[in-house]
Amino acid sequence: MKYLRIGWVVLPFTHRSPEGLYQGTGAALLANAGENAVLFACYGTCQKIVSHTLGLDPQQQLSPLHSALAGSLAAVVSSVVLCPTELVKCRLQAHTEMRTLGRTPLNAGSSSWSVVRSVLRSEGPLGLLQGLTSTWLREVLIQIS
């Protein structure tokens, strides 16, 4: 096993390069853009929903707790965009590591689209939402903090 030293951080990687560390970065960038676009688009609506549901004056500014609740609701909505891209990123990283270990064929597709096609073929459209519950939990906790 080889090690990559960056400052005081040492990262282990196998064989030639830390390729697996950056595999799936494109999907992560798309995920971030999509998540932030949905958060930006629906946060105001979520504020109105929280205000209406709790019987608050719509013209009054929400308290920090109510704002956190609206942010958490917006994060739940944006997770529907985030979850499939997180799934693709994780599978690409796992595929890279498995290929490095020689446990997958070298000619197996390792692009974002090949992962999406594989999931749709084997698990259907709902397969892209694997991990949605844990993504909701993570996003809600991030928005509250």
Q: Is residue 16 part of a domain?
A: no
CA distance 139 to 132: 10
Closest CA to 43 of 19, 66, 13: 66
CA distance 116 to 60: 45
Q: Is residue 18 part of a domain?
A: no
Q: Is residue 111 part of a domain?
A: yes
Q: Is residue 81 part of a domain?
A: yes
Q: Which two tokens stand for residue 55?
A: 């019987």
CA distance 122 to 130: 13
Q: What's the confidence (pLDDT) of residue 2?
A: 54
**Average pLDDT of the chain to the nearest whole number:** 80
Q: What's the confidence (pLDDT) of residue 101?
A: 74
Task: Using 50 as the pLDDT threshold, list the residues of the chain that sit under it.
Answer: 16
Parent domain of 33: 24-144
Closest CA to 66 of 78, 52, 50, 55: 50
Q: Is residue 88 part of a domain?
A: yes
Q: Which two tokens stand for residue 118?
A: 């594989």
Q: Is residue 112 part of a domain?
A: yes
Q: What's the half-sphere exposure (Cβ side, CA atoms, 13 Å) at 13?
A: 16
Q: What's the confidence (pLDDT) of residue 49?
A: 94
CA distance 42 to 78: 9
Q: Which residues pair with 2 in a beta bridge?
A: 13
Q: Is residue 97 part of a domain?
A: yes
Which pTM value belongs to this model? 0.65
Q: What's the confidence (pLDDT) of residue 47?
A: 94
Counting the structural domains of the chain, the total is 1
Would you say 92 and 86 are in contact if contact means Cβ atoms under 8 Å apart?
no
Q: Is residue 54 part of a domain?
A: yes
